[in-house]
Amino acid sequence: MIAYLNPLQGEEFVRLCGVEPVIGARICSWFSCYANAYPFCDLWILYSDTPNPAHPKSGAHDGWPHGVAARYQGTLCIACDLDADFDELAGFIAASGAAEVECVQPVMDRLIGKIPFRLRQRQQVLTYEFGREDAPGGIPAGVLAGDRFIYSDHLDCDPAEFVENTRLREMYEVICQSFDGYREGTPFTGWYVDAFARIKKAEGYLCGICRDGKVVSVAGVYNVSPYTAMVSSVATLPDYRGRGLARRCVRRCLEYIRYLDVRPTLTAATDSLVDYYKGLGFREYAVRCSAIYQRKP
């Protein structure tokens, strides 16, 4: 059974996001920001007849919980273990109306032959261990204060009026100039509303470095959950690359995640980026997959 989330199941839902904490963190973040209160976000719990020693049998539904699912706009994310009912899940995905499905590789391997989707990409997910002697640590507000960092929790935003913040737009522009097609795929208005909602609810974090009176390098922390938080949106303007600015931004994000006391993750889109982040101390952790809907001929 795949059951739409009942508002009274919030605590159970958050626990189940930890069944698979890579995609689960993204789903948990959506739950924290939006729950089922908005038409663009839907949340479900996945049940099956297979017992799950880690999670008790539901009193409201038949079966044991084995994961969660969420649809945010056109993307359907799945975070579950390998005892989920994949035949039922495949039928659910086919009928969901989603344009894209995201999950980790073991789950995608079970699904891809059963759903009308084709694999779009596999990306390496990395993590960072804080146990090393040179690992970051300390309270975020005191980190790299002399390097002209801008922290999202210090931005002059008015939550009541949602006044556009100049620095947030500058950060967006840095990201757009660093990733082809980002502006077209993620217009500023939608990006700003989502980023601001995450910052306001402590589900996201953005930092940047200023040079010559403008923001030139940025990085962010997204998908904050009780289990993991993801470093993302690492970007530097072309004229300022090669100076170690992105590395400082990533370090700042690691400081923030350590302060949250959760595991950091990071998705690298290319082999060269995997090598780059390994050079910063990251190691391989999981493989994240996405598949897009394929119309029948």
Q: What is the pLDDT of residues 42-53, one digit of tens each?
A: 999 999 989 888
Mean pLDDT on 67-86: 94
Domain ranges of the chain: 2-122, 133-280
Is 133-280 assigned to CATH 3.40.50.300? no
Structure tokens at 177: 């100039």
Any residues with CB less than 8 A from the CB of 69 and at least 6 apart, and which? 2, 27, 43, 44, 45, 46, 76, 77, 78, 79, 80, 89, 92
Q: Residue 266 CA to chain centroid, in angstroms?
A: 9
Number of neighbouring beta carbons within 10 Å of residue 181: 8
Whole-model pTM?
A: 0.82
More confident residue, 247 or 162: 247
Residue pair 191/233 in contact (Cβ under 8 Å)? The answer is no
Residue pair 240/217 in contact (Cβ under 8 Å)? The answer is yes
Query: Euclidean distance between the first and final Cα of the chain, in Å?
Result: 31
Mean pLDDT on 242-252: 87
Structure tokens at 169: 């737009």
**Confidence (pLDDT) at 167:** 81
What is the layout of strands, in order, in the sheet containing 100-104? 2-4, 41-48, 64-72, 75-80, 100-104, 282-293, 117-128, 263-268, 228-236, 214-222, 205-211, 149-151
pLDDT confidence band for 36 (50 / 70 / 90): confident
Q: Choose the weakest-confidence range: 26-40, 47-61, 148-162, 229-243.
A: 148-162
**Confidence (pLDDT) at 173:** 94
Structure tokens at 141: 């507000």
- Residue 228 is inside which H or E element, if any? strand 228-236
More confident residue, 161 or 294: 294
- CA 17-55-47 angle, 5° bins: 75
Q: Residue 238 CA to chain centroid, in angstroms?
A: 25
Listed residue (84, 86, 76, 92) closest to 41, CA to CA: 76
**Confidence (pLDDT) at 160:** 34
Can you tell me the distance from the alpha carbon of 164 to that of 196, in angstroms, rounded to the nearest whole number?
10
Q: Residue 158 CA to chain centroid, in angstroms?
A: 25
> Taking each helix axis from N to C terminus, what angle separates 10-17 and 21-34, rounded to the nearest 10 degrees?
150
Any residues with CB less than 8 A from the CB of 283 and at least 6 apart, and which? 126, 127, 128, 129
**Confidence (pLDDT) at 13:** 92
CATH topology of domain 2-122: Aminopeptidase (3.40.630)
Mean pLDDT on 26-39: 86
- pLDDT tens-digit series, residues 125-143: 999 987 654 554 443 433 3
